Structure 1
Amino acid sequence: MTTPSTTTPSTTPHSTTQSGAPVVSDAHAQSTGADGAIALTDHYLVEKLAQFNRERVPERIVHAKGGGAFGTFKTTEDVSAYTKAALFQQGVETETLTRFSSVAGEAGSPDTWRDPRGFSTKFYTTEGNYDLVGNNTPVFFIRDGIKFPDFIHSQKRLPGSNLRDADMQWDFWTLSPESAHQVTWVMSDRGLPASWREMQGYGSHTYQWINDAGERFWVKYHFRSNQGVNAMTGDEAERLAGSDSDYYIRDLYENIDAGNFPSWDLHVQIMPYADAKDYRFNPFDLTKVWPHADYPLVKVGTMTLNRNPENYFAQIEQAAFAPSNFVPGIAASPDKMLQARIFSYADAHRYRVGTNHAQLPVNAPKNQVHNYSQNGAARYTFNDASTPNYAPNSKGGAAAVEPATVGGGWENDGALTLSAHSLHAEDSDFGQAGTMYREVFDDGAKARFLDTITGAVGGVKDAGIKERAIGYWTSVDADLGAKLRANLGAGEETNSASEAAIKY
């Protein structure tokens, strides 16, 4: 229904039902008589109430609270030696949609809670939609998708009390030591960005680029904020959680509305295909970063957000980002978490928004779609009546691209996949977390970090879990662990706790 803004009585459109029939009254239901009983023949009343009862779709299980905006990505550099993807050819400008979000909180939660932030971009390319679904951190808590439901459950709410619980968070983290690197990021200043505009974005996973010659490269994506990278204090975040729980959403919307368009320069790290076979750690491990000294950043182009959504529900809540949305010249890697997400995200959208969610305007590609899927709820695009609904066919219907023109092929490289998931010299769960604490944090950041983990671990009630948490941070850095123990007044480590720590 169209809602007029500045119209005169003579041009005001007439209210209609969903089927287009004129409505007699917007203010009064039909009554059958003096007793005031409502007639069920008042189909407009029934329609309004029934529609109202169905206004919500299920909220996202993760990344429920978020906002976003439309924009453009312009490729400013020549990276054609590494990928044939049309959007990454020098001079090409592509429409985009970017959604920012929190991970653990529900849709109504404050967006300034300490948490990773989702950073997902849909590129509406000439070859189909490419979705880069990432975060404001280059790593994640786990490296295997089979743990993902358990991890999210540990960060949500207890099934009995429906309260969030420090014990179950730290129980999971300390029994999953691969989480140490990401927890270090989250407990640092990066866990409380000053705004979505003032944080970095990462594809996090390792992806594959393929050039016109069929040569393959491994890449990691980095969006570097042109607004700078800034954080807010814990006290400020707590204050905003109470006074303006939509602070990040408001900040992004109001800045774009005022013409202050945020932008990020996209860089990639590029690893030659063969390097992955004997690199010093598994390059497809989502809990690791590639040191820039090994693979420096290569600039690709700039993304600018310059248009707010016209309707939040239609264009942000129903926006569906999926790591399975690739285009020619870009493909997956043997990253086990990426493999799981390729299934999980698209499946979540089929459940949450509908089997035909890709036909919604916000999700629909700009190029033509040709396939033989059919039917399902809310289907409204379809093939010509003369086109068969099966493949292969001899009636001139769409046919698949020959494999040679698509690229890829690591799936058949047994040596690569075997080496990728075998033991590497530097496959430590705590090594990169320790390096980050010692070499990246300055003295102020170290002090704030210690205060943060002291408060977080201090909320643990179970003595055994608390001891494991101290051991966890001791494994990251011995001095840090000693300071945490002193802050918590936990005393000396017990023998049983020491045995638990050895399992790391």
Structure 2
Amino acid sequence: MSKNNKKLTTSWGAPVGDNQNSMTAGSRGPTLIQDVHLLEKLAHFNRERVPERVVHAKGAGAHGYFEVTNDLTKYTKANFLSEVGKRTPLFIRFSTVAGENGSADTVRDPRGFAVKFYTEEGNYDIVGNNTPVFFIRDAIKFPDFIHTQKRHPQTHLKNPNAVWDFWSLSPESLHQVTILMSDRGIPATLRHMHGYGSHTFKWVNADGDGVWVKYHFRTEQGVKNITEEVGTRIAGENPDYHTEDLFNAIDKGDFPKWKLYVQIMPLEDANTYKFDPFDVTKVWSQKDYPLIEVGNMVLNRNPENYFAEVEQATFSPGTLVPGIDVSPDKMLQGRLFAYADAHRYRVGANHNSLPINRPKNEVNTYQRDGQMRVDNNGGGSVYYEPNSLGGPKESPEDKQAAYPVSGVAENVAYDHNDHYTQAGDLYRLLSEEERTRLVQNIVGAMKPVESDEIKLRQIGHFYKADKEYGTRIAEALGLSVPQEVK
């Protein structure tokens, strides 16, 4: 493997001291806006593809509603969750992650699961995936990770060397890699998969008391997956298979349904739980924090125009309503900036005024001008604040709940670095047939990797998660588990 002494630099030539950890206030953050290297990476990354989405380019969408079935007002003051039976209109977009707009639906890839609730207090977005975890846990690594999933700049081909080199050097990815390479890596349809908010969020009730939450959308159709061979065959026969299936199901009245649950953790548990609850590469045990029912999601209407609705739909985990706040999750903190910035670049500064994104309630801002201004631009009304002319004013009762932060401003990793226990637990939960398919999928994906050093480094991670897991993959690749790992 080639070695060099070149220093990584910013675009203005300054050396980068830490490219693995963003700068936070203490070990849990929040992330500091003074980390100009992080901001440059995220902002530049959002502008690397024109005009389709950098990630989640291929997608399908539908309209529907959410109905509350359980009273959880003791945990959150969010208006759309305020009473059993209340319905809120919504729009959802499903997507693959790495492929281009014309790529096949049935590839092995996580699926985006983004839901926009049109509440009476403004829009609320849950922007998740069909997996409860992710490959990385700090947004500063996101541009590099997605580069490995894209095409080689010289050959314009997918590059398994880059994929496995990055994963083998980022052991926090092991849990998600195990899920991706398992049967769940290729859902049979978009209707037959779960969805997750993935990140930890904060609910706050009317008294200002908070809890940490995780979202789980459980499919009412049952989980169904397809094998690598079937996925490959369908990709050649009908690359739009998932898109077509969703449209046809709704069109004939077979409305897909999911039941939303949350896990709820008391705020103080975050300091003592066995895994850092803000690390998106980890899950909370459902034995420790059981699923609590929230309500039902039903999709019952197809878009009238794909571009106007599915393609121009914009989602951000920073699109919040009173009663729902964010957490110190470092990956989430980066997404708060990156997603909205991507929409301002891709769709325009006024993307929220487009019909698919426009809130149902009245919008009162002092924002003016910019691309895609489709209303009267505020007419001749007052355009600054504070003012004495009767313009809209802030409402202190809607401020986000305060929480303490402390620590030294520095580039720092999460305190907990056990990347193997949960991946090993998942492997041991699988049946023998599921384990065999998992190993076959991983071996098939790793065989094209040219470097044995990369293969052995990754085998070491599998072995640390479970000895059988690593040994089976090593033997299938004609290699031995590195002695230093045993």
Tell me which residue corresponds to 1:43.
none
Structure 2 distance, partners of 1:67, 1:79, is 31
Aligned to 2:7: none
Structure 1 CA distance for aligned equivalents of residues 125 and 363 of structure 2: 17
Match of 2:420 in 1: 430
Q: CA deviation at 1:57?
A: 6.8
Q: Which moved more, 1:269-278 or 1:246-255?
A: 269-278
1:52-91 correspondence to structure 2 within 5 Å: 58-89=51-82, 90-91=84-85
Q: Cα gap change, 1:392/1:163 in structure 2, threshold over 3 Å: closer, same or farther?
A: same
Q: Size of the alignment, in residue pairs?
A: 435
Spell out structure 1 runs of 4+ moving beyond 6 A: none
Q: Displacement, 1:387?
A: 2.7
Q: 2:224 matched to 1:230?
A: yes
Q: Contact between 2:110 and 2:129, CA under 8 Å: does it hold in 1?
A: yes
Q: Distance in 2 between matches of 1:183 and 1:195?
A: 21
Q: Which residue of 1 aligns with 2:3?
A: none
Point out which structure has higher relative CO (alpha carbons under 8 A, 6+ apart): 2
Per the alignment, residue 335 of structure 1 pairs with 329
Shift of 1:413: 3.8
TM-score for both structures, normalised by structure 1: 0.84
One-letter code aligned to 1:72:
Y
Superposed, 1:121-160 pairs within 5 Å as 121-160=115-154
The C-alpha deviation readout for 1:410-437, integer Å capped at 9, x for no partner, is 2x3438x99x97634xx40111001110
Which of 445, 448, 456 is the aligned partner of 1:459? 448
Contact conserved, 2:112 with 2:128, CA < 8 A, in 1?
Answer: yes
Q: Tell me the C-alpha RMSD between the 2 structures.
A: 1.9
User: Looking at CA atoms only, which structure, 1 or 2, has the larger radius of gyration?
Assistant: 1
Query: Deviation per CA, 1:452-497, whole angstroms, max 9, x where unpaired?
Result: 111111121112111112212112211111111111112463x7xx
Alignment of 1:28-427 (within 5 A): 58-89=51-82, 90-382=84-376, 385=379, 387-402=381-396, 404-410=397-403, 412-414=404-406, 423-424=415-416, 427=417
Kindly indicate whether the alpha-carbon contact (under 8 Å) linking 1:129 and 1:365 is maintained by their aligned counterparts in 2.
yes
Contact kept in structure 2, 1:143 and 1:287, CA below 8 Å: yes
Match in the other structure for 2:457: 468
**Is the CA contact (8 Å cut-off) linking 1:208 and 1:332 kept in structure 2?**
yes
Q: Distance in 2 between matches of 1:315 and 1:245?
A: 21
Structure 2 CA distance for aligned equivalents of residues 432 and 474 of structure 1:
13
Matched to 2:319, the amino acid is N
Cα 1:406–1:92 shift into 2, 3 Å: farther
- Work out the CA distance in 1 between the residues paired with 2:187 and 2:312: 25
SS in 2 for 1:390: coil
> Which of 437, 442, 447 is 2:431 aligned to?
442
The one-letter code sitting in structure 2 at the alignment partner of 1:168 is A
Aligned residue for 1:487? 476
Task: Pick closer, same or farther for the CA change 1:293–1:239 going to 2, 3 Å.
Answer: same
| Change in 2 beyond 3 A, CA 1:386/1:155 | closer
Amino acid paired to 1:81:
K
- Mapped to 1, the partners of 2:163 and 2:206 lie a distance apart of 47
Post-superposition offset of 1:386:
5.2
- Secondary structure in 1 aligned to 2:67? strand
- How high is the sequence identity, in percent, across the aligned residues? 53
TM-superposed CA distance for 1:276, in Å, is 1.0
Q: Which ranges in structure 1 are unaligned for 5 or more consecutive residues? A: 1-55
> Take 1:266 and 1:194, find their aligned partners in 2: how far apart are those partners?
21
Give the letter aligned to residue 215 of structure 1.
D
Amino acid at match of 2:440: D
Q: Is the 8 A contact 2:277 2:284 kept in 1?
A: yes
Distance 1:364 1:406 in 2: 22
How far apart are the structure 2 equivalents of 1:385 and 1:142? Answer: 46
| Structure 2 unaligned spans of 5+ | 1-48
Letter in 1 for 2:261: H
Shift of 1:385: 4.5
Q: If the length of structure 2 is used for normalisation, what is the TM-score? A: 0.87
Q: Deviations over 1:257-287 (max 9, x none)?
A: 0100000000000011111122222100000
Contact (CA 8 Å) 1:214, 1:407: kept in 2 or not? no
SS at match of 1:414: coil
Distance 1:460 1:57, change over 3 A: closer
